[in-house]
Amino acid sequence: MKKYISFLTGFLTGAVVAGVLGLLFTPEPGESLQESIKEIVLKTKNEIDEAAAKKRADMEAELAKLRQG
């Protein structure tokens, strides 16, 4: 368990440091970068919402089948 926590701590620290360095040395200006990140996040959120709605509809249809017999 101790090794797992140590690995996880190192991984998260590395991810944060890499993210900060990536933001510091990016060739885009700040506002442009923020817009790009917002677009990516919104696109990802929309894809997740669509997938969740489809899965919910599939599960509700399966439940209706099971209730019918």
- Per-residue pLDDT reduced to its tens digit, 6-59: 888 999 999 999 988 887 787 777 788 788 889 999 999 999 999 999 999 999
- pLDDT score, position 21: 85
Q: What is the largest CA-CA distance in the chain?
A: 61
CB 6 within 8 A of CB 13: no
For residue 30, what are the domain limits?
A: 2-68
- pLDDT score, position 53: 96
Q: Which helix (H) or strand (E) holds 29?
A: none
Number of domains in the chain: 1
